[in-house]
Structure 1
């Protein structure tokens, strides 16, 4: 790690459960950092002790005052390197660290990512749901009324949606999702990923709600919920769109939609709707 006149801010990903997932570069970066800003110093100390890292820690979380941000920026100004980590996974995803990054960039400091684990991406990749277009919405509201309003907003989404959920709310969230989105909407639950008791549940919302209600172990640990777009507005993949564009050059809209549906396995109605959108451009 090169010492410039000004320090560098490193955004360092840490494991989401399995310590073997920590990269060599992340370990080296944390070991050479002059200071590590973290959500919970007690939690992070366990990680650092495991890798015999002795860098100093400073608590930096959603309740931290602006003075902590100023302190970290002062360290950078004095040529010290600062690393930011979260309790697990990639920092700044569903936490307030972006304010520090924004200030650092505004003041001309270098900000460097050290990539690694990210729960939402890990869950999406094994969900079997469409991955070419998706939205991450963080945590849904804790109260049912506000949560239902947020779910209503998802009805217009034509792509996969991912959210984090707390274990004591997952059962109620699934019930609210069924009421707003329908029991037949496909979804996926990843729980305690990379840990000893990790589980993965796939099915529609009705099936998942039943599985979670009948098994209290599914109401424990860290949870990622992935929800598929509704059939009538699901966006086709980029590859399917490429095939459709080729077909539209040779055939009518109806024929192109039929052939694309046969090749991709997607519903002809979905392909036909997309074909109409493309020909209207």
Structure 2
């Protein structure tokens, strides 16, 4: 289901039907915002099918690095025949691709076949090496307004919480609606942070650090914390510097960092 990106889809659809679509499309934007949904809908449209076919090759983000072996399979498949109008590759999150894998992919992009298309995604444009980015047509995806997402929620009694946790990302909203445990985990995170912000103490810092350093939803915890603190900053309850500090911690989390130390550094400034 496409939500909020109809203009992007219609523009690329028009180019595709006219045979003018650039062979390498790079979609950038937050995780779960709808980049892959647009790519897959374009793929089925251009293939003339009602579902993803064998001539659409998927490399979805499983949390692991994209190895050079995986990209070599792209090269091998690109040299094989296909039965539909296009052979299409959908590769999620290029930020997990190492330099040697990028070099292999570059060679394929530099010598495009007219009937092969690449739909590539990344959370940020800077996650993609300039040499690879320069071979692509870049489309930036923005988060979707709560008004558009509200219709998806129907008469759900938790609609305000769902919209808060989704943060303008249709894919995340869908998971929150479909996965009860995932939604309840977000509620627990929100409550933990609300208690801490109401009475921030050193003991509270260390308690949250112990709980969330190994928590599978640490990134979601930082997202919720960011949105809550941003709201308080707009109300002049907290400084905008706190918002910038959380943003920095979110970036640091992408690297090989000590998660407990990161959380301590994040939360201790809130203790007066």
* TM-score of the pair, normalised by structure 2: 0.34
Please identify which structure carries the higher strand content.
Answer: 1
Structure with larger RCO (C-alpha < 8 A, sep 6+): 2
* TM-score of the pair, normalised by structure 1: 0.34
